[in-house]
Amino acid sequence: MAGQRHPVVPTPHGAVRGRYEQGVAVFRGIPYAAPPFGPRRFRPPEPPEPWDGVREAAGFGPTAPKPPYSEAFARYLSDPEIPGDDCLNLNVWTPHPGPGARLPVLVWLHGGALTRGSSAVPVYDGSTFARDGVVCVSVNYRLGVEGYGLFPDAPANAGLRDQLAALEWVRDSITAFGGDPDRVTLAGQSAGAISTGALLAAPRARGLFRRAVLQSGAPEASDRDKVRRMVRRMASRLKIPATAEAFAAADRGALLRAQAEVGRFSSPVLGGPAFGIVVDGDVLPVDPLEALVEKDAAPGVDLMMGWTRDEYRLWLVPGGLLERVDRLGAVALAGARARCHCGNEVVRGYRALRPGAGAAETVGQLVTDHLLRVPLHRVADARPGSSYVYEFAWPSGLPGLGACHALELGFVFDSGDRPDSRRLAGEGAPQELADAMHGAWVRFVETGDPGWRAWDATHPVRIFGDGAPHTAYGPRDAEFDLWKADVAARAMRSGSPARR
């Protein structure tokens, strides 16, 4: 099979023909579920219709409906839009198509706040993983109101159900592409990491993957009222009832415009209503963080978790929000305290730890820790010996971005030579850092050990990009101790036991 000019591989729904590109077999746009429109809109995914003959899989399939990034963010982030209804599709890069190879598999869930992004983003080129002996699969799933709207007449979490269907496709199909369904690593960044955390806690996902990577996103469940508020605001603008039936009948372009309008003031730093994964009593019966920290969900699954040193700078630098937060000073700090639901002692502690920092840096690091680092720290504490933690610290060559959110992706995928990677990194990204970062991911996918000490009482964190890769011990323990003390103080005041 590998000797054919164009590789052909069977799937449960029909054969697909890919292309060889620089020694790697690539299959793009393979449907894992039927188009989620018409009578299937806002419903759980259904299997695709089988096809006769051989389906061409040379180009990326349609992307899920989504509004474009604002001009400020589009300078830094690419987000291709490919029209068409058949958006529940995936891509496979493999060095050895055909059964028998039994190679480890990486399944990639893209980021984009559950409202943007796709598997067609050029930075997510899986050929480098295939080059290094890993079968790489990247997935499209429903976004925004189509994937995460909360309605009285439709099941919740359609996008999460899509991801489950894609994992089931991998289980049933990946052997024919040279992969081992018993050696699957599920990985995601930002919204993809939040999704990975939810799938770790989802009973239906048990056994579908053996390892997981959470990059710049922590297990969480969104407040149902916030998601409902997004739907109601959209309904008000569209002058329709807040039901799946009414939304399904609405013009798709008008739906996206309304979604973009009501979501434009939401951000990780400012908060506000937003679409998100919710506890639904079905696919996700409990809060994912609670499941992983307190209920030993996903036993036997190895974890690798990471963040960037300056996550918040991608949220604040575009559009000049960083300068505005600095000007607000104490008002911004009070808003951050409310956003993070913490006491004054935490804010004072952060200011003491960063005496020369402006309000924006203090707010940004405070919110980053609240959203990402503290919950990931809690997960690692609950799963010592099988958790690995890292920090990406290399600063972008572009002004003001630092080691911001999403900057590490060009290094993870070793795709820094692509123009889309340089949009965020600038020129001169070090190849040796990509070799180290990408190599750690490959080792984790292959063996479950990325090459440094597993989490224990010393809190080892691998640092990438601040000099040569090295392990620091407890580099953020001072901040974490502030949060622990705040939780303990609140518990004492309320008379309830403190959680970690």
Per-residue DSSP letters for 133-189? T-EEEEE----HHHHH---TTS-S-HHHHHHHHHHHHHHHHGGGGTEEEEEEEEEEE
List the catalytic residue out of 146, 220, 311, 391.
311
Residues contacting residue 355 through CB under 8 Å, at least 6 positions apart = none
Q: Which two tokens stand for residue 140?
A: 């499209």
Picking from 470, 327, 340, 460, the residue whose alpha carbon sits closest to that of residue 393 is 470
Q: Report the greatest alpha carbon distance in the chain.
A: 70
Residue 329, CA distances (Å) to 46, 363, 398 in order: 51, 9, 25
Q: Which two tokens stand for residue 33?
A: 């579920």
List the catalytic residue out of 377, 405, 438, 459.
405
Q: Known catalytic residue: 222?
A: no
Residue 388: alpha-carbon gap to chain centroid = 17
List the catalytic residue out of 118, 190, 396, 421.
190
Which H or E run contains 207?
none
Q: Known catalytic residue: 311?
A: yes
CA atoms of 143 and 297, how far apart (whole Å):
26
Parallel, antiparallel, or unpaired: how do β-strands 24-31 and 19-21 relate?
antiparallel
Per the listing, tokens 């971005």 go with 401
Edge to edge, the sheet with strand 8-11 lists 8-11, 14-17, 54-56
Task: With H, G, I as helix, E, B as strand and everything else as coil, classify residue 448.
Answer: coil
Q: Are 182 and 210 in contact (CB under 8 A)?
A: yes
Centre a 10 Å sphere on the Cβ of residue 237 and count the other Cβ atoms it contains.
Answer: 15
The catalytic residues are: 190, 311, 405
